[in-house]
């Protein structure tokens, strides 16, 4: 099949007819879209991992005054994962989430040391959850 396709393309080229595969036309936008959505989904998964780790750590503290914070973090994790699943398969999201959580936990000195994670993700994730379309638009522009 490939041999015949190449022969036909060669024939068209010899005849002076423009040769362009359909994927050559659609690929630039699709590739840009895929790259943007993959980057955006990756950020959402990083935030979901941060939210899950933080929620678990706060819950483990068994401090009643922090219960509402832990619940908000757990809710934010669900929200970011739901959004990520709009741009990647559930299987991909689950696999990437586990890998990201393992990587983030490895940077913690102990199970309740959230300072480093908070410094890196707290504000970034808060903004991402509040304005996801703005961040997705950023990735579309950045991957053009």
Per-block average pLDDT, block size 10, for the chain (144 residues)?
Answer: 40 41 41 88 97 92 89 96 95 96 90 86 95 95 91
Q: Please check whether residue 79 lies inside any domain of the structure.
A: yes
Q: Please check whether residue 82 lies inside any domain of the structure.
A: yes
pTM of the model: 0.76
Looking at residue 3, what is its pLDDT?
41
Q: Please check whether residue 15 lies inside any domain of the structure.
A: no
Q: Please check whether residue 18 lies inside any domain of the structure.
A: no
E strand or H helix at 115, and its extent? helix 115-130
Q: Please check whether residue 1 lies inside any domain of the structure.
A: no
The answer to whether the beta carbons of residues 38 and 87 sit under 8 Å apart is: yes
Q: Please check whether residue 114 lies inside any domain of the structure.
A: yes
Looking at residue 98, what is its pLDDT?
97
The answer to whether the beta carbons of residues 32 and 144 sit under 8 Å apart is: yes
| Domain enclosing residue 62, as ranges | 34-142
Looking at residue 30, what is its pLDDT?
53
Q: Please check whether residue 10 lies inside any domain of the structure.
A: no
Looking at residue 33, what is its pLDDT?
81
Q: Please check whether residue 123 lies inside any domain of the structure.
A: yes
Q: Which long-range contacts (CB under 8 A, 24 or more apart) does 108-114 make?
A: 108/53, 111/57, 111/60, 112/57, 112/60, 112/61, 114/53, 114/54, 114/57
Task: Indicate the number of domains in the chain.
Answer: 1
Looking at residue 31, what is its pLDDT?
73
Q: What share of the chain is helix, strand, coil (3-state, %, to 5)?
A: 80, 0, 20
């Amino acid at each position: 099949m490939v041999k015949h396709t190449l022969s036909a393309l060669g024939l068209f080229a010899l005849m002076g007819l423009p040769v362009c595969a359909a994927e050559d036309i659609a690929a630039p936008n699709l590739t840009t879209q895929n790259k943007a959505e993959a980057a955006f989904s990756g950020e959402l998964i990083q935030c979901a991992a941060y939210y899950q780790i933080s929620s678990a750590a706060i819950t483990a503290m068994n401090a009643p005054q922090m219960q509402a914070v832990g619940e908000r973090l757990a809710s934010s994790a669900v929200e970011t994962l739901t959004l990520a699943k709009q741009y990647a398969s559930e299987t991909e999201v689950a696999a990437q989430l586990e890998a990201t959580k393992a990587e983030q936990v490895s940077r913690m000195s102990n199970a309740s040391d959230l300072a480093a994670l908070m410094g890196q993700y707290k504000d970034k994730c808060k903004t991402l959850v509040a304005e996801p379309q703005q961040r997705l638009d950023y990735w579309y522009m950045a991957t053009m």
